[in-house]
Structure 1
């Protein structure tokens, strides 16, 4: 089951227990916590308003997913977090109030291997969430994290289709995150990033998210490095990065988003986290990826060869691979 299918199924089941009027469920890069692939139903939101909504979500620290994670909370509601004063939330004050939103339940889908997604459930028309609702969502959060992490793990296949980005794929956004220009290679990459039923001329949410992460970083409230790895299907991954197009870093300058095929090291990190490898197992995997044999790995990590063999066996078992060659092929995405 894909991450999208999994989220759709969960949303349908949650609604039977906990009604809501709108939702935004965004996958995140497990290491940077920056958003990648959204699944949303926001009544009344026009597509051109998406960049503004995303920008405000990153700038609003009240119940922001990374803050909840750092605080050890899996779920929270906006009314409770603001003491009933919703205007304390920049996002609500400048955006959600216009949609009649009266409460938002936020769920962080994270585990000890990374942050995999966050979910906002909106209620409108004066409806609010109870403490028991937040408790229910908090109990559900680790289950969702495991389900999404396993879905990401399944994206790594050893017969992945190649993605050709031979030229520079660059998108230039205004300070308000409105598209100014893009290269021809960026247009091709954006076509691959967009869902099949979306207009191909639009910039996908992943580009807006890394740009919004940069804005939040500059505002002194960083979510994480403005970088995210995005799965395109068929084992293909690209990495998006955002930076300001000014030598001084002035916040009024345009934002540049680059799109590149993910490097082997970038793929390996997501692969290892998605398969639940321990820090030591990730170290061993990195050495195996460099072509090191067990003797060399033992010397570098100051452990016995027997211990190295045990770690390799554990990695193969957790990743469902039968040999080092198959393991590396799956990480690389090439047979």
Structure 2
């Protein structure tokens, strides 16, 4: 077998390994670490930074990297939110592909990108390839792959492989957001109420409410960063500052799931009458309206199946669903069978209990 055949066989083996991750019951961190084992050689990268994301908005809410120094991570957050660079994660999602390289999108002139000049080159790297891990309409995570300058830019076949890998990683991360064992988690403790933190201009922690200390620990990133608090809080704060400047943002809130399976929603706003740049971030348990669509998406339900399931939660019967969604009753029943199978339940009552408790209520 020639070198091309060997590369193709290695790439196929990596993809098969990634496909299996969706049914492995792994945490997001374990998904990333296994993906690194499968992809590092075939994508030929020297460093990678993995992120989970709010699936509804695509906003990054955690970071994991064993390769990169995160001693100036506040600068990376600032660049991510404020810089209109080529090949940002939102632009990749809108482009219709799942993976893109900085060299390709800049037509061989990566120095056009602020991120390249201020972050990638100082860290000792050349080309960067980014991938967005979408599945069932949500972006569950993303990654940035970097390689040493002397290795040249990423090749077209490597970008195509990353594009295929991203689809399987989206499914694996979606599955990782299910409660452990597929069981409801609503009884796993009692929340002490909203947690409040105050962040300075560089997103360093200035003050916390009592419940915030415990929540900050439960939402901590897999990798330690210079921020000293979860990435989601800094991202929420930076987007609040953009809003205050009259600039567009995907949404004013960020959702994040704790290790116990509960969803939380972070709202941020500039602190009035304080030093410039200070922001208050309030983290509260997700309401059913916030949590249920994410929970249903995590089960892999299609958009239509989610509509059917949400109507059931609101107390609608088959006839109501048929009328409200302009479906034939037998079509509704077909959707219900698929919903039950994906959620691992046998009845509407069990489905409603699973959804309500799965959202942390």
Q: TM-score, normalised by structure 1?
A: 0.87
State the Cα distance separating 1:89 from its structure 2 match.
1.7
Instruction: Deviation per CA, 1:129-150: give whole Å up to 9, x if none.
Output: 2222212212222122222222
After superposing the two structures, state which structure 1 stretch, 232-241 or 299-308, moved more: 299-308
- 2:155 is aligned to 130
Farther off after superposition, 11-20 or 272-281? 272-281
Please give the secondary structure, in 2, of the residue aligned with 1:118: strand
Tell me how far 1:9 sits from its aligned partner: 0.4
Shift in alpha-carbon separation, 1:106–1:219, aligned structure 2, 3 A = farther
Whether the 8 Å contact between 2:63 and 2:221 is mirrored in structure 1 is: no
SS in 1 for 2:121: helix
Which of 249, 252, 261 lines up with 2:285 in the alignment?
A: 261
Specify the SS of the correspondent of 1:39: coil
SS of the residue aligned with 2:91?
helix
What's the Cα RMSD here? 2.9
Bigger shift: residues 147-156 or 277-286: 147-156
Q: Which segments of 5 or more consecutive residues in structure 1 lack a partner in the other structure?
A: none
Pairs within 5 Å for 1:311-326: 311-326=335-350
Q: Following TM superposition, where does structure 1 have runs of at least 4 consecutive aligned residues deviating by more than 4 angstroms? A: 195-199, 215-223
Structure 2 residue ranges without an equivalent (≥5): 1-25
Q: Tell me, what secondary structure is at the counterpart of 1:233?
A: coil
Residues 214 and 87 of structure 1: is their aligned pair in 2 closer, same or farther, counting only changes over 3 Å? farther
DSSP 3-state at the match of 1:8: helix
Matched, 1:100 2:144: no
Aligned to 2:320: 296
Equivalent residues of 1:101, 1:123 under 8 A apart: yes
Please state how far the C-alpha of 1:193 moved relative to its aligned partner: 1.2
- C-alpha distance in 1 between matches for 2:185 and 2:69: 41
Cα distance in structure 1, aligned partners of 2:302 and 2:339: 9
Q: Which residue of 2 aligns with 1:139?
A: 164
Deviation at 1:104?
A: 0.8
Matches within 5 A, 1:84-95: 84-95=108-119
Matches of 2:87 and 2:255 in 1, distance apart?
A: 24
Aligned length: 330
1:188 aligned partner: 214
Residues 1:27 and 2:44 aligned together: no
More strand, by proportion:
1
